[in-house]
Amino acid sequence: MKDIKMDLIGFYMHKGAQNQLEGEISILSDGTFKGNIFDYGSRPLRKEIKGHIIKEKGINKLIFLESPENQNLSNLLYKLENLDSSQISGNYRGRWEALPYNIEYNPDCKGFLAQIDNSVVGIGDEAKIFLSPKVSQE
């Protein structure tokens, strides 16, 4: 089965400001996806996202991590639901939150290292995302 390419646009709230997101994801047949987004409310601007879409009790749930290239910045977790449609495309609403740790693979020690930053615990707010099929499915 061919990957499904979707455009992603939306926003998240942070410190009373609405910050815009836009990008593209490729969804595999098992619901996992990856892509790149532009997060206009943070630096660096371009971020990689990885996650999955699952259906629970007839509701599509969009769950993904936004991972900055700079390992000193927190990963962000988004958990949203599409209450309007049984389709993958549509409006998703939920929350984002900063994770108090970053995990990276270190080839020198052949293992995973975690950085913990408890100062980001509790940071998060509302998020809304709209997924729509790409016009061209190259």
Residue 67 confidence (pLDDT): 78
68 vs 96, higher pLDDT: 96
Q: Give the max Cα distance, the chain.
A: 48
Pick one of 3.30.360.10, 2.40.10.340, 2.40.128.30, 3.50.50.60 as the CATH number of 4-133. 2.40.128.30
Average pLDDT, the chain: 85
Whether the per-residue pLDDT at 129 is higher than 90: the answer is yes
Residue 116 or 66, more confident: 66
Q: How far apart are the first and last CA of the chain?
A: 14
* pTM for the whole structure: 0.81
Residue 98 and residue 76: Cα distance in Å, rounded? 5
Domain ranges of the chain: 4-133
What tens digit of pLDDT does each residue of 13-37 get? Answer: 998 999 999 999 999 999 999 999 9
Q: How far is CA 24 from CA 37, 69, 72, 107, in A?
A: 6, 18, 25, 30
